[in-house]
A and B are shown apart, each in its own frame.
Chain A
Amino acid sequence: MDGFDFDVIQRSIGYLFREGMTFTVTLTLIAMTGGIIFGTLLAMMRLSSVPLLSWGAGAYVNLMRSIPLVLVIFWFFFLVPYIGAWILRESQPVHVGAWLSAVITFTMFEAAYYCEIMRAGIQSIPRGQVWSGYALGLNYWQTMGFIVLPQAFRNMVPVLLTQTIILFQDTSLVYVISATDFLGAAAKVANRDYRLVEMYSFVAVVYFIVSYSLSLVVKQLQDRIAIIR
């Protein structure tokens, strides 16, 4: 520990947070929002009585959940340019940067995990709630939007947030496509100044502080919003 160089952290801390942490937090927030929206839609599809919808959503979710996130990141990194070309009717794959690729990857990947949480949430609502919605003359979307989803969402907030903490940690895997997230920024400094011990220890401490604080908040929230049945 004698040679531990705190100076390199002090020198680069502005860059780490301005470039890296901004990337990480923005990516987490966008992927969380998109993931919950798509995940809820996927959950509704999985629970639908139309076989094609439930089968399709089930296949997507199970596929995403059985292959490693690193492989999914590679898949989308190379696939998105082709999809872009297909949508824009170009003949060559379009150029997509690491940032957009990461946003799409994490939104699509997390949707599968949020889907399973929302599915459990929807299933935790008694069937009578749905029937009373229909009895009142509401259609499917109204029943879902005004009665089922708000309750399901409320019940699942702690699990959704816990998933988001995991998402926050998992965004560090964008390192494999050389994006400059918090870890990526630290790795660049570490390799430039040859200060790997200092930088990676610092990164670990920062991730720990953020994730642990968030998990304490979730725990408190859990006690507060638990519905006594």
Chain B
Amino acid sequence: MHYNWHWKVLLETEPGGTGSYLHYLIVGLGWTLVTALAAWVIALLVGAFVGTIRTTTLRWAVRLGNLYVEIFRNIPLIVQMFLWFFVVPELLPQAMGDWIKQMPPPWGSYLPAVFCLGIFTSVRVAEQVRAGINSLPRGQRFAGTAMGLTQAQTYRYVILPQAFRIILPPLTSESMNIIKNSSVALTIGLLELTGRARAMQEFSFRVFEAFTAATVIYLLTNLIVVLLMRVLENKVRVPGLIAAGAAPQAGH
């Protein structure tokens, strides 16, 4: 069995006429990154909030945080995509739902994808934040109280600044996960990198060239993210503190 490679296909014009297939894939990478980045902002904000309230002494807040985490952790990402894309617009007030459904492409799939990925990842961020806070010595909290700080002030000035610096390494792998997971958005019609590789395969019939190109682009992106995060990690590392995130974790 023999497969005839035809790499020059990458330089041929794609049917939409916007440029070469390579250009088409690179634009896909752009969408992947824009989706992942916007979702990452949501994930960090919501995740930091939920993770923090789960470590407080407020019973109801802890319960609510746990409920949030369990719901979004136990539903598959693609099902959550469908919920955001097909179900949420129906449950909103009619006018708002119609407005969302009539958004021109790619925004109609981009927005649900961003919200879905952001909320999905926020759960994982919340777990890391909670672990980071719990890994701090209890004396830090006591010292804050002894100095007359309220619980909110203790979090603001003592606990969170340390916790965020500790959890940065595990967050690196989350930021790569969010890039990978953004490929699920192709199921609701967002033409990001994987979606475009698939489309290129359908237009040009060059299966393995398309997927190899996408794979190489993903690998390069990962490499760049790892290098950038390593620089950041070195900058914010707390001298003498070793991250607690060394335990093996399940993932995807």
Please report A residues at the B interface, Cβ cutoff 8 Å. Answer: 1, 63, 66-71, 74-75, 78-79, 82, 85-86, 89-93, 113, 116-117, 120-121, 156, 159, 162-163, 165-167, 169-170, 172-173, 175-176, 183, 196-197, 200-201, 203-204, 207-208, 211-212, 215
Contact = CB atoms under 8 A, between A and B. Distances in A.
Given A116-B248, A176-B186, A201-B87, A67 B219 contact: yes
Contacts of B183: 68-71
A215 B211 CA distance: 35
Question: Looking at chain A's contact residues, is the secondary structure mostly helix, strand, loop, or mixed?
Answer: helix
B165 interface: no
Nearest to A120: B248
B1 A85 contact: yes
14 contacts: A66-B180, A66-B222, A67-B215, A71-B218, A74-B201, A74-B211, A89-B1, A91-B1, A113-B251, A120-B248, A163-B251, A173-B76, A200-B82, A204-B83
Question: Looking at chain B's contact residues, is the secondary structure mostly helix, strand, loop, or mixed?
Answer: helix
B244 to A, nearest CB: 15
A159 B249 contact: yes
Nearest to A214: B74
Interface string B231-252: 0000000000000000011111
Contacts of A167: 252
Contacts of B73: 211, 215
B62 interface: no
Contacts of B250: 113, 117, 159, 162-163, 165-166
Nearest to A161: B250
Contacts of B76: 169-170, 172-173, 183, 207
Contact of A74 (B78, B184, B194): B194
Contacts of B82: 196, 200, 203
A169 B74 CA distance: 8
B41 to A, nearest CB: 21
A74 B208 contact: no
Contact of B252 (A170, A175, A183): A170
Nearest to A65: B251
A67 B86 contact: no
Contacts of A175: 78, 187
Given A166-B250, A200-B87, A74 B197 contact: yes
